[in-house]
Amino acid sequence: MLNRENSGRIHIYLPFLAIFFAFMVVEARLYWLQIVQHAEFSEQARGEQIRKIEVAPKRGTIYDRNLQKLAINIPSYSLYARPKKISNPKQVATLLAPLVKTKSSLLRNKLEQKQIFVWLKRKLPLSQKKQIENLNLEGIGFVEESNRFYPQKELASHVLGFVGVDNQGLAGVEFSYDNELKGQRGHFWIRRDALGYEIPFAREILQTLVPGKDLVLTIDSVIQSIVEEELAIALKETQAKSVEALFMDPHTGEILALSRRPSYDPNHYGDYPASAQKNHLIQSIYEPGSTFKVATASVLLEENLVDMKERIFCENTLRIADHIFHDWKEFNTDLDFYTIVQHSSDIGMIKLASRINNDIFFQYIKHFGFGTRTGVDLPGEEKGIARPSSSWSLTDPPCIAIGHGIAVTPLQMVTFLSAAINGGKLLRPYVVRAILEPGGRVIKKNNSHLVRTIISDSTSSMLREFLKGVVAGGTGERAGVSGYFVGGKTGTAQIPLSGARGYAEGRYISSFMGFAPVGSPKVAGIVIIKEPTGAYWGGEIAAPVFGRIIRRALPYMNVLPEDEKWVKVS
């Protein structure tokens, strides 16, 4: 009887005990979630409600030396979608595809993503924005962004470079000075509701954006335009593979103009091949040919290895080891040093250069800056090829003496020429004069930088006279400009075979490097014509282009004709 009573009581209390224990479990779970894991779930909830947004700052403006704008920013409109608000992704993709020039399948894939926000197309112009807005599509919107724009199009494109879709520098000064130009990105939080939409007035700024700094280049837009116009004419006249030119101030290292044809428009850089975008004047090397004789002559003068009165017999051919050297024309007579340079006799220069010790010759080559980067503030500079004298064969010294067996950049040649005529000062070339704050205050100024002195002032003075003679009555006559004394040196070189010894038949690089006026040089430069059709001598096709550029540039630079100067002084 007692057992039955106890059993009945247990049955009565059992449900209450079960409820009690269940309540305790729930209480323990709530304690764990609300107290122990409170911080973790709060952070998770915050992450679901808040999104970090980056804002790109205004990229710095790029000016030429006279504050003409070369790279600016204009408004653009980036198209985005909120997939959750789009009921028919296929239809929307079909409508947008022709307007944004993107395959509808790619757009549809983006619109079907399970994301709150997706980019559909970046950096659209206002005209396309209006076309899309006229469709009145739900879940589609725009964010205004800054788009890089080059108002002068191709002008100085190889100096300026270009930027990518996120305004990051990819070439030229846009790349090498990207840290200065890009500024500092801003960040802010936005709060979202349960459906993922932004809650109005619920933004929190984390980092204020800082606009980029401005650049002032050494480039002169007028001289740059002159160079580009003359190169375009030369390309058409010679039917060459390419033509290029570089001009600098020989006393400061400031690059005044740098150009190549064919060129490209940085506003649409993706429409051009990589070869057109490449800055060949600093990123490509070539054998300089007879223009390198200026370097050989510098060594002969500096080492006192030549007597100005002596005469060297310049036969048509000369055998050295297993190689026969040919002169470019038949001299077959005695020539003095001045005339050998003036008329560019290969045999005469080879004979004189044989007096130079190989190790000393190589030391001078390196001393002159060949085989070493100049340090110019542009990306991708090549250092050239200058093999050590320990690896030279018997035919290497005579080849190098006349500009073969060595590879240089056009920039290296002009940098060396500037030193050869400015008293011997090898300067580091540069393209950025100053960095400015957005308000215009100069925060950094680039000045002339002396690398080292490479020759004496007396040697430099003699070289100016020698090179003056090249234009006055030698191979560079067609570079002459009425009223001015111009100095320079012609060059014609065959193009080496790719992956094999020897040179390509009928393929030449024609060049002329020079300076003006001889009495007080204000500009030094080089013109290079690669693989011309028909005539190919440097004095015949490159020298006239140099002369036309100088003829237009000197008056603009307020350089008086030397004869007028003399009349006024008297």
Catalytic positions, written as ranges: 290
Backbone φ and ψ for 165, nearest 5 degrees, come out as: -65, -30
Length of the chain: 570
What gap in Å lies between CA 510 and CA 245, rounded to an integer? 12
Query: Residue for token digits 């990819």?
Result: 170
Q: Quick check: 306 and 337 in contact, CB under 8 A?
A: yes
Q: Quick check: 127 and 235 in contact, CB under 8 A?
A: no
Q: CA separation (Å) from 68 to 61, 150, 152, 162, 219?
A: 10, 12, 10, 18, 10
- CA proximity to 462, closest of 312, 294, 349, 310: 294
**H/E run at residue 373:** none
Q: Compute the radius of gyration of the chain from its Cα atoms.
A: 35
Q: CA separation (Å) from 539 to 65, 229, 289, 399, 425?
A: 32, 20, 12, 20, 27
What gap in Å lies between CA 463 and CA 105, rounded to an integer? 67
**H/E run at residue 426:** strand 425-427
Q: Quick check: 192 and 50 in contact, CB under 8 A?
A: yes
Strands (E), 140-197: 140-149, 186-192
Residues 6+ apart with CB under 8 A from 527: 231, 234, 243, 244, 245, 511, 512, 513, 542, 543, 545, 546, 549
Q: CA separation (Å) from 236 to 225, 231, 279, 398, 547?
A: 17, 9, 20, 35, 17
Q: CA separation (Å) from 380 to 62, 101, 209, 269, 362?
A: 20, 33, 30, 18, 25
CB atoms closer than 10 angstroms to residue 426: 22
The helices-and-strands tally (H runs, E runs) of the chain is: 20, 21
Residue 170: Cβ-neighbour burial (10 angstroms; 0-12, 13-18, 19+): middle
- CA proximity to 65, closest of 417, 420, 445, 421: 445
Would you call 129 helix, strand, or coil by DSSP?
Answer: helix
Query: Residue for token digits 């470019």?
Result: 328
Residues 6+ apart with CB under 8 A from 153: 265, 266, 267
Q: Which residues, listed in sequence order, are joined to residue 189 by a DSSP beta bridge?
A: 52, 204
**H/E run at residue 353:** helix 346-353
